[in-house]
Amino acid sequence: MTSRPPMTDTPGPWQDQGRIGEWIERAATLGRDFEQLAAHHDRTGEAPAAQFDKLLKADLLRLVVAQSDGGHGAGLAAASAVVREIAYGDPSVALILSMHYSQHAAIVRSERESLGEWPAHLARRLAREAATGAALLNAAQVEPGLGSPSHGGLPDTVAVRDGEHWLLSGHKLYVTGSPLLSWISVLARTDEAEPRLGQFLIPRTAPGVQLVETWDPLGMRATVSHDVVFTNAAVPLADVVALKPASLGLQRHPHSTAWYFTLVASVYDGAARAARDWLLQFLNERRPGALGGASLASVATVQHTVGAIEVLLRTNDWLLKSSSAAFDAGEAPETLAGTVKQVVIENAIEAVDHGLELSGNHGLARSHPLERHHRNVLCGRIHAPSNSLLGGNAGRAALQAWGGRETART
């Protein structure tokens, strides 16, 4: 694929914000570089360590870390734009990066709002490590028995008090980027008479932390989302975040939800754009004999389907840029991010499906990138909470609101 400029389908708020444009340019350059490596990592499932070395050298790993800790202090609009550019080259790398950004955005928000969730010493350590090196951070929440905590229930991972430490034991699934992480934020409950629930921060290489290489999925293979098993892994009492009564359940702040939903959607939008660009080149170069030397791009029905793809991706572009800008400005409603996740991911999948329809057997050949792009975008549907759950919640809220209005009128 030929080189390309950064994605600018519609004007974005970052375009007039000085340094943000530079970050986008760097990310676009890296995306083109990572595109050349993506097939190898998809085939082997090898961790993309070299890509994160390049992200570090490009000064993008500290993007959302607070300026007071040595970061750039960027908001969601900039983070989403960077993630989309990286995802164009390799969405697996972009997903690991998006999780890292989301975790550090939560640290910034907690301290800015003086919530007291993050112990100051722990926030400083993680933020400053991320500002000076490739100290990746992600959460470990899903379990074999529990599934995703977004559906309710308490984790089987348990922390037992032992002097000045908690001893952590349990089994976590789908820990994205696990071999590359410096820190893991582990959702666990205490073994107290009235258990508490919180995030226990532990170095990935600490004693009692075992990586089990189980990740072998259809797509997004280079996310290396392996299992991690904890066996009496010691966590200092002070290295726990948001420890609250377990009876309250898992409480997600709307800020964290917005970052997670928006950046996950950004990953699959970037993958769909890479698929679109491969398709455009294919359609312009493919000249079946039946067309007398003309390309497939000259066929009216092909043009109509490509137009449908453009509508889907332009919708995504506007949703991601406008919603993230509204969030940074404090003007986005809490329900917006869920809508963005649902619409953007479904649009990305539909756009690549249209591409397969036009390319025929070529699009299913392992020798062509479209086959990999298709497998990757399908993985967008597995991120909890599912789009069906989000849609059900939206429908229930609308029906309840209408019912309440009718009751008030009678």
Condensed to tens digits (0 to 9), the pLDDT of residues 121-161 reads 999 999 999 999 999 999 999 999 988 887 778 999 999 99
Region of poorest pLDDT, from 111-115, 314-318, 367-371: 111-115
| Strand positions, DSSP E, 204-264 | 209-212, 226-236, 240-245
Category of 317 on φ-ψ map: left (φ > 0), alpha (ψ -120 to 50) or beta: alpha
**Direct distance between the N- and C-terminal alpha carbons of the chain, in angstroms, rounded to an integer:** 63
Average pLDDT, the chain: 92
Residue 106 maps to a domain:
yes
| Residue 223 and residue 161 share a domain | yes
Residue 333 maps to a domain:
yes
Residue 94 maps to a domain:
yes
Boundary residue ending a domain (200, 218, 248):
248
- Distant-in-sequence, close-in-space partners of 395: CB < 8 Å, separation ≥ 6: none
| Residue 170 and residue 83 share a domain | no
Q: What is the CATH number of the domain that holds 280?
A: 1.20.140.10
Q: For the chain, what's the residue count? A: 410
| Residue 394 and residue 268 share a domain | yes
Longest dimension (CA), the chain: 81
Q: How far, rounded to the nearest angstrom, does the alpha carbon of residue 311 sit from its chain's CA centroid? A: 23
Q: Find tokens 């890292």 and name the residue.
A: 100
| Residue 151 and residue 99 share a domain | no
| Residue 308 and residue 173 share a domain | no
Distance CA 186, CA 295 (A): 54
Closest to 154 (Cα-Cα) out of 257, 259, 244 = 244
Residue 130 maps to a domain:
yes
| Residue 353 and residue 264 share a domain | yes
Residue 5 maps to a domain:
no
Angle between helices 19-44 and 49-57 (to 10 degrees): 170
Domain count, the chain: 3
- Burial class from Cβ neighbours inside 10 Å (0-12, 13-18, 19+) for residue 409 reads exposed
| Residue 273 and residue 238 share a domain | no
| Residue 262 and residue 384 share a domain | yes
- Band the pLDDT of 252: cuts 50, 70, 90: confident
Q: What is the CATH number of the domain that holds 230?
A: 2.40.110.10
Boundary residue ending a domain (226, 248, 270):
248
Boundary residue ending a domain (103, 136, 169):
136
| Residue 46 and residue 182 share a domain | no
By the 8 A CB rule, do 121 and 39 touch?
no
| Residue 119 and residue 104 share a domain | yes
Closest to 205 (Cα-Cα) out of 239, 174, 182 = 182
Q: With a cut of 60, say whether residue 3 has pLDDT above it.
A: no
- Taking residue 381's Cβ as centre, other Cβ atoms within 10 Å add up to 13
Q: How far, rounded to the nearest angstrom, does the alpha carbon of residue 390 sit from its chain's CA centroid? A: 17
Q: What is the pTM of this model?
A: 0.93
Residue 407 maps to a domain:
no
Q: What is the CATH number of the domain that holds 22?
A: 1.10.540.10
By the 8 A CB rule, do 104 and 118 touch?
no
Residue 49 maps to a domain:
yes
- Band the pLDDT of 2: cuts 50, 70, 90: very low
Which domain, by its residues, includes 156?
A: 140-248
Distance CA 246, CA 61 (A): 33
Closest to 359 (Cα-Cα) out of 269, 273, 275 = 275
By the 8 A CB rule, do 302 and 283 touch?
yes
